[in-house]
Amino acid sequence: MKTYDVRTHGCQMNVHDSERLAGLLETAGYVDLASLPTDERPPTADVVVFNTCAVRENADNKLYGNLGQLRPAKLANPDLQIAVGGCMAQKDRDTIVKRAPWVDVVFGTHNIGSLPALLDRARHNKEAQVEILESLETFPSTLPTRRDSAYAGWVSISVGCNNTCTFCIVPSLRGKEQDRRPGDILAECRALVEQGVVEITLLGQNVNSYGVEFGDRGAFAKLLRATGEIEGLERVRFTSPHPAAFTDDVIDAMAETPNVMPSLHMPLQAGSDRVLKQMRRSYRSEKFLGILDRVRERIPHAAITTDLIVGFPGETEEDFAETLRVVEASRFSSAFTFQYSIRPGTPAATMDHQVPKAVVQERFDRLIALQDRISWEENRTHEGRTVEVLVAPFEGRKDRETERMSGRARDNRLVHFAVPQGAERARPGDVVEVDVTYGAPHHLVADGALDGGTYRVRRTRGGDAWAALQDAAVPGKPAVSLGMPSIGRPAASAVTVRSGPACGA
Instruction: Please state the residue numbers annotated as binding site for [4Fe-4S] cluster.
Output: 11, 53, 87, 161, 165, 168
- 3-state SS, residue 392: strand
Binding-site members are 11, 53, 87, 161, 165, 168
CA dist 173 and 110 (Å) reads 9
Residue 44, helix vs strand vs coil: coil
Give strand ranges (E) for 419-467.
431-435, 438-439, 444-446, 455-458
Q: Identify the DSSP state of 420.
A: -
Name residue 37's amino acid: P
Integer-rounded Cα radius of gyration of the chain: 23
CA angle 174, 180, 186 (to 5 degrees): 135
Quickly list H helices, 280-413. 285-298, 317-330, 357-380, 399-402
Instruction: Kindly write down the DSSP assignment for every residue of 99-165, as one continuous string.
Output: H-TT--EEE-TT-GGGHHHHHHHHHHHTS-EEE--SS-SS-GGGS-B--S-SSEEEEESEES-----
Strand, helix or coil for residue 263: strand
Q: How far apart are the first and last CA of the chain?
A: 52
Contact 413, 420 (CB under 8 A): no
Inter-residue contact 47 to 30 (CB < 8 Å): yes
